[in-house]
Amino acid sequence: MARFLRILGIETSCDETAAAVVERAADGVPTVRSDVVLSQLEEHSAYGGVVPEIAARAHVEALDTLIDEALKRANVSLSDIDAIAATSGPGLIGGLLVGLMTGKAIAKASGKPLYAVNHLEGHALTARLTDGLAFPYLMLLVSGGHTQLILVRGVGQYERWGTTIDDALGEAFDKTAKLLSLPYPGGPAVEQAAKNGNANRFDFPRPLVGEAKLNFSFSGLKTAVRQAATEIAPLTDQDVADICASFQRAVSRTLKDRIGRGLERFKAAYPQVDGGPALVVAGGVAANLEIRSTLQALCDKYGFRFVAPPLRLCTDNAVMIAWAGLERMATGVEPDDLDVQPRSRWPLDAGAEALLGFGKRGAKA
């Protein structure tokens, strides 16, 4: 193996346009040479959510400039790059097309290999970049589009232990915020309002608590919030704060049960792990302090290491895509053909049971 491998990563799966240059030494030590992210928050905030057509257009307008900036910040040219890694799914198909086609064009023009990366694999392997985590470990992915508990056994080896059967947790936060006339994105707005609220005022349901299976459900909780808000309308600022605090408490208690059962299952399956067992959390919702506190307490209780990468690497970014490509290269995975196609739905565990989720388009990713 060469002294180090260097990859240009491209990420355009949703509403962040990102490019990065990352290196992996022969001993596995990473170096992030550049990390450029352009948020589209202002473009979508007026709509209360991401508009796919606007997102795709913004990627087209920004991506070439961001790639050039990533190379400049890394002080390298395309000739210094060993491969290209671009997100190929899951995500918004328009955005995926922009990033993957750009990656293909660069790979073709430069003669470099292309790695079409699963966005979820990027999240799953980030803890190895930031914390040098050894396999196996558990990952909780909580974002606007995904809520999954995944066993990470190795590069390309993933087992989905739990997933949402309806709404993703981030979507539940966003819809709760919209219902209460709070700004987008909803997660930070709900958390901020909850700071001044009474978490015991509303007894919201804890969906699936006590179930043996490790799936999640947030649709009923969202409905309960709507009913509570309707019954006491018009809402005062204190009403909104109390609803947010009670909602957040219900989410934390639900995760405590679901994840606690997952930790017990992991310890039974893997009683001996190098460095001890670990739970990794990723996704934008991982920034919520009450949720982090709940997960940290669970890990302390069960003897797990709690790993939460820096927030900029928990949300959508190209560093994780480049790193996933580097991990695949280092393990001898062959690059993808240039006819590889983007996939709006792409489950990390191909053998997992297909569950109908939001979007009404078949299997939940």
Both 260 and 171 in a single domain?
Answer: yes
Q: Which of 257, 264, 271 is nearest to 216 (CA)?
A: 257
Overall number of domains in the chain: 2
> What is the predicted pLDDT for the residue at 228?
97
DSSP E strand boundaries for the chain: 4-11, 16-25, 30-39, 83-89, 114-118, 137-142, 147-154, 157-163, 278-282, 305-307
Both 107 and 250 in a single domain?
Answer: no
Q: Does any domain span residue 93?
A: yes
Q: Is the pLDDT of residue 49 over 50?
A: yes
> What is the predicted pLDDT for the residue at 353?
74
pLDDT digits (tens, 9 = 90+) for 236-295: 999 999 999 999 999 999 999 999 999 999 999 999 998 899 999 998 888 899 999 999
Both 265 and 184 in a single domain?
Answer: yes
Q: What is the mean pLDDT of residues 198-214?
A: 95
pLDDT digits (tens, 9 = 90+) for 88-101: 999 999 999 999 99
A 10 A CB-CB count for 47 gives 10
Both 149 and 270 in a single domain?
Answer: yes
- What confidence category does residue 365 fall into, taking pLDDT thresholds of 50, 70 and 90? very low
Both 66 and 101 in a single domain?
Answer: yes
Both 16 and 121 in a single domain?
Answer: yes
Both 247 and 285 in a single domain?
Answer: yes
Q: CA 15 to CA 173: how far, in whole Å?
A: 17
Both 158 and 280 in a single domain?
Answer: yes
Among 262, 277, 311, which residue terminates a domain? 311
Range of the domain at 123: 4-127+312-330
Both 182 and 120 in a single domain?
Answer: no
Q: What is the mean pLDDT of residues 310-332?
A: 95
Q: Does any domain span residue 354?
A: no
Both 70 and 205 in a single domain?
Answer: no
- What confidence category does residue 2 fall into, taking pLDDT thresholds of 50, 70 and 90? low
Both 109 and 227 in a single domain?
Answer: no
* Structure token pair of residue 88: 């190929």
Percent of the chain with pLDDT over 70: 96
Q: Is the pLDDT of residue 148 over 50?
A: yes
* Number of DSSP helices (H) and strands (E) in the chain, helices first: 11, 10
Q: Which range (154-158, 277-281, 292-296, 357-361) has the least confidence?
A: 357-361
Q: Which of 259, 265, 248, 250 is nearest to 298 (CA)?
A: 259
Both 48 and 102 in a single domain?
Answer: yes
Q: Does any domain span residue 72?
A: yes
Distances from the Cα of 353 to the Cαs of 150, 164, 170, 215, 284, in angstroms?
13, 12, 22, 12, 25
pTM of the model as a whole: 0.92
User: Across all residues in the chain, what is the average pLDDT?
Assistant: 92
CATH number at residue 202: 3.30.420.40
